[in-house]
Amino acid sequence: MIIKIILLIVGFVMLIKGADLLVDGASSAALNFKVPKMLIGLTIVAFGTSAPELAVSISSRIAHSDDLVIGNVIGSSIFNILLILGISSIIRPITVKENTIKKELPMQLILSLLLVVLILDITLDGTITNLITRSDALAITLFFLIFVYYLISISKTHTLFNEKAPFGIIKSLLFVVVGLAALVLGSKLVVDNATGMAHILGVSDRIIALTIIAFGTSLPELITSITASIKGEQDLLVGNIIGSNIFNICIVLGIPVAIFGTIQANGFNMIDITAFILSAIILYMFAKKRQTVGKKEGICMVLLFILYYSLVFVI
């Protein structure tokens, strides 16, 4: 147990330093390549920080731990929006660009609704069990191609920037690679050791999936977003969260199921599903109202996060 605690601390240190390098490197890379920082946030940063979720989902699917696969995605999305964006907006109000409100946030909301529809077989079809089939997984994976097409369109219509990059291209990319590596390894140390301690204490798979796994695999997004907020890199912050949520549903859930086959989705109740979809709706409404997610909205999101996780341990 002592060794696990030590490794847990080492993991957190790697996460903090990795996020620092990643934000600096990604921001500088965007300036070097003269592309919007939002695009870098939606791609390199978002996909890179979602690597732990993908690794956990694949290993969980191979081990037939279906609750961990779905709980990883649902829990991470709730963490990303309510906790990470909540804390980040408390630190510094987040300005959301009009294009993000019109395109990226609706895409995230539609995809979240689609996942809920796919999960609720018993409620919607009257079947005896909730399943996410291989065809379901292929459908949401194909949705990701639409997102990729959108990203390509962004890259073709970007405007040039006059701001000078603090680092050269090679150093910027090196910071990104080293930062991502530290984030992935750090989160693995945190997840593995925290999960090991939870199993020793007899905690259920659902609780582990919605808490330790979701929090642990979301640590790269959390630390990266807080670091980006402190440094004023709001486009990286917003792009990281939206891109991570879309990547989690389409790839982290879609790929393992598409490859290894159908999984059951019976380990979750309506409170979990409601929190998942409500978080996406709240973010869209807050952003659309004033194009800013401020301190009041951030406090509201954090309080909802606390309320949900209080219910998780009660029900």
Taking only the tens of pLDDT, the chain with its 315 residues reads: 788 878 878 887 887 788 788 888 888 887 787 777 778 878 878 877 777 777 778 877 887 877 778 888 888 899 899 999 999 999 999 988 888 888 899 999 999 999 998 888 777 777 778 888 899 999 999 888 888 888 878 766 655 556 678 888 899 999 989 988 887 788 778 777 877 777 777 777 667 766 777 777 777 778 888 888 888 888 888 888 998 899 999 998 999 999 988 888 776 678 888 999 999 999 999 998 888 898 999 999 999 999 998 887 776
Q: How many domains does the chain have?
A: 1
Amino acid at position 62, single letter: I
Please give the full DSSP string across the chain, using - where no structure is assigned. Answer: -HHHHHHHHHHHHHHHHHHHHHHHHHHHHHHHHT--HHHHIIIIIHHHHTHHHHHHHHHHHHTT-HHHHHHHHHHHHHIIIIIIIHHHHHHSPEE--HHIIIIIHHHHHHHHHHHHHHH-HHHHH--SS-EE-HHHHHHHHHHHHHHHHHHHHHHHS-----SPPSS-HHHHHHHHHHHHHHHHHHHHHHHHHHHHHHHHTT--HHHHIIIIIHHHHHHHHHHHHHHHHHTT-HHHHHHHHHHHHHHIIIIIIHHHHHHH--EE--S--HHHHHHHHHHHHHHHHHHHHHSEE-HHHHHHHHHHHHHHHHHHHH-
Amino acid at position 109, single letter: L
7: alpha, beta or left? (left if phi > 0; alpha if psi -120 to 50): alpha
**pLDDT score of 105:** 93
Distance CA(184)–CA(224), nearest Å, equals 12
Our measurement of the distance from residue 284's CA atom to the centroid of its chain's CA atoms, rounded to an integer in Å, reads 16
Instruction: Kindly report the pTM of this predicted structure.
Output: 0.81
Q: How far is the CA of 190 from the CAs of 65, 212, 215, 250, 273, in angstroms?
A: 19, 9, 10, 25, 26
| Structural domain span for residue 113 | 2-314
**pLDDT score of 161:** 54
Distance CA(85)–CA(70), nearest Å, equals 22
Whose tokens are 């999984």? That residue is 263
The domain that holds 238 is classified in CATH as 1.20.1420.30
Classify each residue of 245-271 as buried b or exposed e, where b means 16 or more C-beta atoms within 10 Å of its C-beta. Answer: bbbbbbbbbbbbbbeeeebebbbbeee
